């Protein structure tokens, strides 16, 4: 589950999903990691790689 808040990270964990934060969150990356984010997206295209989808370099 991708989100930008600690509530999103906690909801992902509660649902048994992988919590993924976005670096452009107003709270910042560290806040999301402390809330349980296992990965941090700095560009939405990184989500494809995280899901195992091969993409050509853009």
Token pair listed for 52 = 């195992």
Token pair listed for 15 = 């649902």
CB 3, CB 12: distance < 8 Å: yes
Give residue-wise pLDDT tens across range 17-42: 999 999 999 999 999 999 999 999 99
Cα separation of 32 and 53, whole Å? 24
**What are residue 41's DSSP bridge partners?**
22
pLDDT at residue 54, as a whole number = 85
Q: Model confidence at 56, in pLDDT bands (50, 70, 90)? A: confident
Q: Across the beta sheet with 39-41, what order do the strands follow?
A: 2-3, 20-22, 39-41
pTM score, two decimals? 0.88
pLDDT at residue 19, as a whole number = 98
pLDDT at residue 58, as a whole number = 56
């Amino acid at each position: 589950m991708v989100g930008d808040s600690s509530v999103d990270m906690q909801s992902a964990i509660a649902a048994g999903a992988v919590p993924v934060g976005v670096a452009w969150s107003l709270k910042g990356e560290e806040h999301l990691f402390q809330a349980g984010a296992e990965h941090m997206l700095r560009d939405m295209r990184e989500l494809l790689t995280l899901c195992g989808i091969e993409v050509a370099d853009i």
